[in-house]
Structure 1
């Protein structure tokens, strides 16, 4: 089931909405409708829509600056807890990441700056309202109330997103600033530690003050920082090797004349899951274990014996190609973007083999241990504080 669908397209970027987003609209309508009737319900739903329009503009700020630096944005998706701009890759330069991260909150600053004078012009400045905000405003739905909520929301978005912790914009700004001096790997580690520390502080404060929403925010920040730390570690480690170092050089292959029976035998007698279908030295497509199982489970015709079906009838021809010199982190990112767990490795026009996400994960594990081994070898060691001497 597809849980999100396209809402609109702005500046060449698809804006998709998750189906659970409507829960927030319904909650907004209920909150205002309980005290203000049908008019309040309509106002509440409208308010939520406008609030998320500000979120879309926030994400567009990120997206437009990212595209300026040559980073394509696949989509913006609206979720119940906010928005997310999905970029094809991470910025390579700290300055680029800094500007991309700062662009979102800057949009909200501009929106608030535009709306505040409008609120001042439409509100009664002689009486303080019961909310203690802008004079002359009550809880009764009105145009001014709508503007006040939008001002509050945009200011909140700015302050919240500038918390220096992943996965918030402030965490990315912090990493970008640190990376200008200590490089991306160390900057990511430092930003992760700072973010987790802030999350613990916010969580403890939230629990002690009885503000459990704040405590939940702290949990979100802590796990978000942890995830970004792991992702940063993976990018750093995998960038040290090319895909030509990690693809499986000793694999079983198929020809267009082979049948599924042969693939089944290969699956039963080896740990291989993906098989290239060859015509001479040329790759025509691939057959995966999952595709074989699907062919067996969906073949219901009594006249067709599924294991006798030719592999060319079930193979996938749209195989993504990568050059053997491409860093592993870039290949991994490409596979995640295209939702393909296996790609073909080429040296120019010469087919070399296949590499899967599992292969890259295995490479990450081995390279991580290798990195720690080298780090331990480089650390100076002493024995009992004694200075080595030689005797003649």
Structure 2
């Protein structure tokens, strides 16, 4: 439910929050709920502050029973370095809160539920830095790999690491659960993260396409952009080149033969149009021939 709009940002309130508050209140868990809600909200505020600094536009803020979730105007395909910075901010807030509260706990052990506050921040920090999409750690890993190896490589590698990490997390969790209720929670969390990661992986092509469109807009506005040059042998399939296309750079592809003779070059736009028309298994020289017609 939409509450109001602040500086073109929609502030939404989930109706499920009302019965959750009532349940917590009548079961004497209100203080724990407030602490959890506040900690999760601070986590998202960390993301929010860095997003504002990095000039990433925010579309809406959703207030859920377990905190607030921020949606950006470009939720898919944010510039990698900005995605890394924004993703780091949330866990960093939890780490700072953990350190401060732990030092206070050492000197003032009588503060009510301070130990719970410490535990919540530590758990949120550890869980969120795991290299699993769509957790912050997964986004950080994907962003780093994206910068150095292109989006397709980054997405594929992050997906593999995420599945391994998620499996290990589930197995380790089984060693510590004490009853069937905790097993259900662990299994539910694992299934949710697995499905969320699968959705992220399936959206890879759309993310890449969105990034290309944004780059063209950026080039038009600023009239200049850093360039990434690729040297490719004739006969190379387009899908192999796609793996090393870099974000935030205008990619220009030079084609040479087996003796190293220069055959010509094609632009990034020509490359992606070639994928649309001919498919990813087409050879690069086909695009070069078509560009000369």
TM bucket by the smaller chain? 0.5 to 0.7
Note if 1:183 corresponds to 2:150.
yes
Q: 1:24 to 1:155 in 2, by over 3 A?
A: farther
Give matches, 1:265-284, under 5 Å. Answer: none
Note if 1:121 corresponds to 2:107.
yes
Q: 1:94 to 1:119 in 2, by over 3 A?
A: same
Decide which moves more: 108-117 or 198-207: 198-207
Q: Which residue of 1 aligns with 2:207?
A: 235
Q: From the two aligned structures, give the one with the greater helix fraction.
A: 2
Which structure 2 residue ranges, 5 or more long, are not aligned?
Answer: 222-271, 285-293
Note if 1:161 corresponds to 2:104.
no
Equivalent pair of 1:204/1:215 in contact (CA under 8 Å): no
Q: SS state of the match for residue 166, structure 1?
A: coil
Equivalent pair of 1:14/1:76 in contact (CA under 8 Å): yes
Q: Which residue of 2 aligns with 1:193?
A: 160
Q: 1:166 to 1:190 in 2, by over 3 A?
A: same
Distance in 2, Cα, partners of 1:221 & 1:100: 20
Distance in 1, Cα, partners of 2:143 & 2:282: 30
Indicate which of 186, 190, 201 corresponds to 1:218.
190
Cα offsets for 1:315-350 (capped at 9, x unmatched): xxxxxxx9xx99xxxxxxxxxxxxxxxxxxxxxxxx
Give matches, 1:45-84, under 5 Å. Answer: 45-84=30-69
Larger Rg: 1
Q: When the two structures are superposed, what TM-score results if normalisation uses the length of structure 1?
A: 0.49
CA RMSD of aligned residues (A): 3.5
Note if 1:375 corresponds to 2:285.
no
Cα offsets for 1:184-225 (capped at 9, x unmatched): 232122212322333344445656866232221111111111
Q: SS state of the match for residue 280, structure 2?
A: helix
Q: 1:190 to 1:368 in 2, by over 3 A?
A: farther
Q: When the two structures are superposed, what TM-score results if normalisation uses the length of structure 2?
A: 0.64
Which structure 1 residue ranges, 5 or more long, are not aligned?
Answer: 34-40, 125-143, 243-321, 327-366, 380-392
Give matches, 1:20-99, under 5 Å. Answer: 20-30=16-26, 33=27, 41=28, 44-90=29-75, 92-99=78-85
Q: SS state of the match for residue 89, structure 1?
A: coil
Q: SS state of the match for residue 56, structure 2?
A: coil
Structure with larger RCO (C-alpha < 8 A, sep 6+):
2
Equivalent pair of 1:165/1:191 in contact (CA under 8 Å): yes
Distance in 2, Cα, partners of 1:48 & 1:173: 29
| Deviation at residue 175 of structure 1 after TM alignment | 0.5
Note if 1:147 corresponds to 2:144.
no
| Count of aligned pairs between the two proteins | 224
Q: SS state of the match for residue 377, structure 1?
A: coil
